[in-house]
Structure 1
Amino acid sequence: MGSSGTEDTIAIDVQPAHDFVALSTMLAPQKPESSVCWCLSWRLSSQENRQLTGVARAEKVRALCTREIAPGVLAFRDGEVVGWAGVAPRSELHPFATSRKIPHIDDLPVWSIWCLRVRPGFRKQGITSALIDGAVEYARVCGAPAVESYPVDNGGQRVDLTMAFVGTRAMFERAGFTKAAETTSVAGGIPRILMRRTLH
């Protein structure tokens, strides 16, 4: 996919997430039988999400990694996985495809970035920016006409760490996204907005 780097840092390489073991480093629970998100909560219907528990969630993600279109992108630094971004066609993401809180502003078959995660110990090192850029580039390579995100419009207000995965308006503005619509969705008590970057 590509690399990015700044002075005094090792370049960050962002690749499609076909490597299940690397993706597990970012998403797996300490106990395999624990029913953690595995970044499936935004991909499945609420009924599917409730029914899929424990190791079955890991197996679902393993299967997603084998598809032609990866479930997202991973950031590597010096060969070590350091970050994850969920990016996929919005039509594959049941909660966004059917949301009453986040509008569809037109009929474009857009892709969505819905989750950004950086491993502890690697934060504030440019990895989030590299993930966003890499996710956009992956969507472009796969033919997406535009990419959307649904970050909080926090105006500098501190974002609760448990909700930080949605990103902030400023993060996406730096990556060339612009606000396209209001939403009625909220994360950590802060309103979310719909942002978009047109690719073609």
Structure 2
Amino acid sequence: MPEIVIQPATADRFDDAEHALTGGGDGHGCQCQWWTLTNARFQSTSVAEREQLLRGDLSASVAPALIAYVDGEAAGWVRVSPRPIQQRIARTKMIKDATAEPLDDPTVWAISCFVVRKEHRGQGLNAKLLDAAVEHARANGARVIEGYPVDAAVGKHPANDLYHGVLSTFADAGFEEVARPKPDRPIVSLTVS
């Protein structure tokens, strides 16, 4: 049985963050900046610029993400931070029209992005990352945590589209569906305080 440890994504773990993000999917190009930048800004930045933005993110006093290690290797990533830090959420019609929580409330956190390296998929890392993300948010002042997963039971979804997480994983962690702006895209919520 592999040893799985989940740690905050901090500045001293930048190389581990990069390793986790570059093992499949769009993590390398995105550098987990999709949700933190407006669309125009994201489109106008290079991968190197996004890497520098991520470096800055990891220097925050509260880690904006967590890294999963499998037997010491950085194998997975989850972004979890106050929703206002993730600017694109407030600009995403599907979310802003369906959430009951004020978009500028820093006690509402969002779990918005998962990455698991290809060689570590199928080990339940997303569920472990989600559980750790809930605890991280709770410990750092979250009142409510939202997620924007894909309902994999509705239609077909390429693996790259599953970076939002999967509805069944959120449901298993106690999240409740609060809206469904698209047939395969629910909004889920968990009250933690």
TM-score range normalised by the length of the shorter chain: 0.7 to 0.9
Contact 1:105 1:181 (C-alpha < 8 Å) held by counterparts: no
2:6 corresponds, among 8, 11, 14, to 14
Q: 1:144 to 1:129 in 2, by over 3 A?
A: same
> Which stretch of structure 1 is more off in the superposition, 154-163 or 170-179?
154-163
Q: Which runs of 5+ in 1 are unaligned?
A: 1-8, 185-189
Paired amino acid for 1:23: A
Paired amino acid for 1:14: I
Q: State the shift of 1:99 in Å.
A: 2.1
2:76 corresponds, among 70, 79, 83, to 83
Q: State the shift of 1:155 in Å.
A: 2.1
Q: Deviations over 1:46-76 (max 9, x none)?
A: 1221222131111111111111122211001
Structure 1 partner of 2:36: 43
Structure 2 partner of 1:141: 139
Structure 2 partner of 1:56: 49
State the secondary structure of the residue aligned to 1:70: coil
Q: Which runs of 5+ in 2 are unaligned?
A: none
Paired amino acid for 2:113: C
Structure 1 partner of 2:153: 155
Contact 1:41 1:49 (C-alpha < 8 Å) held by counterparts: yes
Contact 1:28 1:58 (C-alpha < 8 Å) held by counterparts: no
The structure carrying a bigger helix percent of its residues is 2
Structure 2 partner of 1:118: 116
Contact 2:68 2:76 (C-alpha < 8 Å) held by counterparts: yes
TM-score, normalising length from structure 1?
0.84
**What is the root-mean-square deviation of aligned Cα atoms in Å?**
2.0
Paired amino acid for 1:49: F
Contact 1:29 1:36 (C-alpha < 8 Å) held by counterparts: no
Q: Deviations over 1:137-181 (max 9, x none)?
A: 111111101111111123265431120111221111111111011
Percent identical among aligned pairs is: 31
Correspondence 1:187-198 to 2 at 5 A: 191-198=184-191
Structure 2 partner of 1:182: 180
